[in-house]
Amino acid sequence: MIKLYSFSPSMGVPCPSPFPIKLAVFMQLAGIDYEVVYENNPGKGPKGKIPFIEDQGQLIADSHLIIRHLRDTHIAAGKAHDPDAGLSEQRKAQTLLMQKMLDEHLYWAIVYARWVDPRFKADTGKLLFASMPPLVRNIVFALASRGIAKSLQAQGTGRHEQNEIYRMGCEDIDALATLLGEQDYLFGEQPHSIDAVAFSYVINLLDTPQDVELNRHAQAKENLQAYNRRMKERFYPDFL
Ligand SMILES: N[C@@H](CCC(=O)N[C@@H](CS)C(=O)NCC(=O)O)C(=O)O
């Protein structure tokens, strides 16, 4: 059985990182058996990041490449179902665009809110590393937040003003909510891989406790609230 290495649940969500949630939902949609292994040290992964999977002794990192691997092996061999079977090429292109907007853009605004915004930073340490003794937690948090602030600078988001970062993040949330509209799932009545990606962000925006502008913006959208509930009923009933 595939092992999915994920951060342990915290902040009220199954994982504070969207990427393991994306994979868990994708595998459920595809009918692939997996077990979640909690690993809070990204250094254990082959690329120094969470998530990664172990499939028949092979370690594979990166949620996009993992899904590619699952498609090329389990799905191609007919052992699992393609969640996007029957979708048009246009729908598949929209899936890729949505994934890139969320993983490469909105993601960084969320990272900024949690790790750099002075209103939430200290709280993030307490929420994420709740089980650690305060002294250890402070050291781990200081090291991690320094590294993340550097990444935000290098990636570019960290060079913007706070209001610019949140405004751009809210634009992404608007695009997601507009595409969803009144539908049950992003492409209609059934969930597809685009929903695995979208939900991993929606749950992190709606169900985490910090009162960030991004979270409030998403929480104000009734269709995202209903979507979050619908997806949790189907894929994460323990988090309803
Ligand atoms: N492109 C990767 C992104 C994974 C990622 O950024 N993981 C973060 C947590 S959200 C991480 O492990 N960061 C640790 C580090 O950079 O040291 C994917 O899709 O899996």
With a CB cutoff of 8 Å and minimum separation 6, the contacts of 3 are 34, 35, 36, 37, 53, 54, 55
Q: State the number of CA atoms in the 13 A half-sphere of 135 facing the CB.
A: 0
Q: Is the predicted pLDDT of residue 91 greater than 90, yes or no?
A: yes
Question: What local confidence, expressed as pLDDT, does residue 2 receive?
Answer: 98
Taking residues 99-110, what's their average pLDDT?
98
Q: CB of 19 closer than 6 A to ligand 1?
A: yes
Q: CB of 231 closer than 6 A to ligand 1?
A: no
Q: Is the predicted pLDDT of residue 238 greater than 90, yes or no?
A: yes
- The DSSP string of 92-132 is HHHHHHHHHHIIIIIHHHHHHHHHT-TTTHHHHHHHHTTTS
Best substitution site from 6, 39, 49 to test ligand 1's pocket, by max atoms within 8 Å of Cβ? 49
Cα-to-centroid distance, 138 and ligand 1 (Å): 21
Question: What local confidence, expressed as pLDDT, does residue 41 receive?
Answer: 92
Q: Assign 131 a pLDDT band (cuts: 50, 70, 90).
A: confident
This prediction's pTM: 0.97
Backbone angles phi, psi at 188, to 5 degrees: 120, -135
Cα-to-centroid distance, 46 and ligand 1 (Å): 12
Q: What is the mean pLDDT of the chain?
A: 97
Cα-to-centroid distance, 115 and ligand 1 (Å): 14
Question: What local confidence, expressed as pLDDT, does residue 159 receive?
Answer: 98
Cα-to-centroid distance, 218 and ligand 1 (Å): 23
Taking residues 217-228, what's their average pLDDT?
98
Question: What local confidence, expressed as pLDDT, does residue 174 receive?
Answer: 98
Q: What is the pLDDT of residues 31-88, one digit of tens each?
A: 999 999 999 999 999 999 999 999 999 999 999 999 999 999 999 999 999 999 999 9
**What's the CATH code of the domain at 10?**
1.20.1050.130
Cα-to-centroid distance, 42 and ligand 1 (Å): 8
Considering just the CA atoms, what is the radius of gyration of the chain in Å? 18
Cα-to-centroid distance, 22 and ligand 1 (Å): 13
Question: What local confidence, expressed as pLDDT, does residue 130 receive?
Answer: 86
Residue found by looking up tokens 């389990």 in the block: 74
Q: CB of 137 closer than 6 A to ligand 1?
A: no
Taking residues 113-135, what's their average pLDDT?
93
Taking residues 123-128, what's their average pLDDT?
93
Question: What local confidence, expressed as pLDDT, does residue 239 receive?
Answer: 97
Q: Whose CA is nearest to atom 20 of ligand 1?
A: 62
Cα-to-centroid distance, 189 and ligand 1 (Å): 31
Taking residues 193-205, what's their average pLDDT?
98
Cα-to-centroid distance, 47 and ligand 1 (Å): 9
Low-confidence winner among 95-99, 129-133, 220-224 (lowest mean pLDDT): 129-133
Q: What is the pLDDT of residues 146-178, one digit of tens each?
A: 999 999 999 999 999 999 999 999 999 999 999
With a CB cutoff of 8 Å and minimum separation 6, the contacts of 36 are 3, 4, 6, 20, 24
Q: CB of 123 closer than 6 A to ligand 1?
A: no
Backbone angles phi, psi at 21, to 5 degrees: -65, -40
Q: What is the dihedral of CA 133, 124, 205, 101, to 10 degrees?
A: -120
Provide the number of structural domains found in the chain: 1
Range of the structural domain that residue 229 is part of = 2-239
CA 66 to ligand 1: nearest atom? 20
CA 16 to ligand 1: nearest atom? 10
Q: CB of 48 closer than 6 A to ligand 1?
A: yes
